[in-house]
Amino acid sequence: MTKTHQQLIWKRFRNHQLAFYASIVLLILCMLALAAGWIEALLGVSHDMADLSLINSPAGWPHLMGTNELGQDVFTRLLFGGRISLTVGVLSALTSALIGALIGLLAGFYGGVLDSVLMRFTDAMLSIPVLPLMIVFSAIDLKMIFGSESMMDGNWASVLKLILIIVFFGWMTVARLARAAAMQLKTLEFVTAARSLGATDIRLLWVHILPNSLAPIIVAATLEVGGNILYEASLSFLGLGIQPPVSSWGNMLNSAMDYMKTDPSLAFWPGFFILITVACFNFFGDGMRDALDPHRVMKH
């Protein structure tokens, strides 16, 4: 029986054992993050309310990983922090992929002056040191730009600002991949035939070129998620990313620095979750790359 394209992709991915098991771990992490509120209610603890009588309590019931320097439950803070860190990583990767795909497809499809301008700007963005500039941008108070009564006010302002900063520096790789795919596809017979039948440029890009360019874009976006989580952790660790009372793995590491000698577990658990999540996203991206590679030879 002839296998469909989707079945072949699944078989390739399933044969990549590291990617397959990494996807299971990521699914579990996402489910735990989504169920954080329910788990908190079940345990009868609080991730954000301080309780000075429980400062640095050891692991036990109901505090499965103990409490921090404010008496907050570490386990549920990890779950809520994971929700924020995963949201930042995934949303920034998706937005970067959309922007990069748009720029790359336009540059590759139209060529000429537009291609030269867009790609020179892309090359310039790729040549700059990302993390130092992220640190500079993180220090900017966006309330001065958008106003104190805007969406940039409140606890979630630091989350939105961090996503915008990561997106600003994260679209270039996808743009180059999308450009290469568009330059190759626009010369193929099915695109030429569609053009001869009167298809507009928008239809050619949306119906014929974009769907056939998705494989490298999906792989690049998947691999970006892990890097974006590291950017969030790095900036939050420096006190420039997600700001309390919103918890993330990065600012949990920042808070734990003063207690490395007295209670190293406060730093171990967020660091461990960052390590596992980033590694799993990288393995998952490798598996997606192998599964979506049209030149891969299947061994039966």
List C-alpha distances in Å: 211 to 94, 119, 125, 150, 185.
Answer: 16, 22, 27, 37, 11
5 has a pLDDT exceeding 90: no
- Of 250, 220, 15, give the one whose Cα is nearest residue 104: 220
- Is residue 297's pLDDT more than 50? no
Q: Nearest to residue 81, comparing CAs of 97, 62, 65, 57? A: 65
Taking alpha carbons only, the member of 70, 45, 66 closest to residue 55 is 70
pLDDT for 149 beyond 70: no
d(CA 278, CA 284): 10
pLDDT tier at 155 (50, 70, 90 boundaries)?
A: low
For 8-32+75-292, the fitting CATH number among 1.10.3720.10, 1.10.1520.10, 1.10.645.10, 3.40.50.1820 is 1.10.3720.10
Residues ≥6 apart with Cβ < 8 Å to 190: 208
pLDDT(147) > 70 = no
Span 180-205, pLDDT tens digits: 999 999 988 988 898 888 888 899 99
- Diameter over CA atoms, the chain: 76
**Which DSSP string do the residues of 89-134 spell out, in sequence order?**
HHHHHHHHHHHHHHHHHHHHHH-HHHHHHHHHHHHHHHHS-HHHHH
Average pLDDT of the residues in 133-158:
70
Provide, rounded to the nearest whole percent, the portion of the chain with pLDDT above 70: 92
> Is the model more confident about 72 or about 179?
179
Model-level pTM?
0.87
Q: What are the tens digits of pLDDT across the range 275-293?
A: 999 999 999 999 988 888 7
pLDDT in the model for residue 270: 93
Q: Hey, where are the domains in the chain?
A: 8-32+75-292
Average pLDDT over all residues of the chain:
87
Mean pLDDT, residues 121-144 taken together:
86
Planar angle of CA 22, 27, 31, nearest 5 degrees? 150
Report the distance separating Cα 121 and Cα 115, nearest Å. 10
Specify the pLDDT at position 145: 62
* Residue 3 predicted with pLDDT over 80: no
* Percent with pLDDT over 90 in the chain: 48
Residue 240 neighbours by CB distance under 10 Å: 22
Spell out the residues 6+ positions from residue 167 whose beta carbon is closer than 8 angstroms to its own: 92, 95, 96, 99
C-beta of residue 74 within 8 angstroms of C-beta of residue 67: yes
Does the pLDDT value for residue 228 go beyond 90?
Answer: yes
Per-residue model confidence (pLDDT) at position 80: 94
Q: pLDDT band at 142, cuts 50/70/90?
A: low
Kindly indicate the confidence band of residue 1, based on its pLDDT and cuts at 50, 70 and 90.
Answer: very low
* Burial profile 246-259: b = 16 or more Cβ within 10 angstroms, e = fewer: bbbbbbbbbbbeee
pLDDT in tens, 259-272: 888 888 889 999 99
Which residues lie across from 67 on neighbouring strands?
73
Q: How confident is the model at residue 300 (pLDDT cuts 50, 70, 90)?
A: very low
What pLDDT was estimated at residue 2?
45
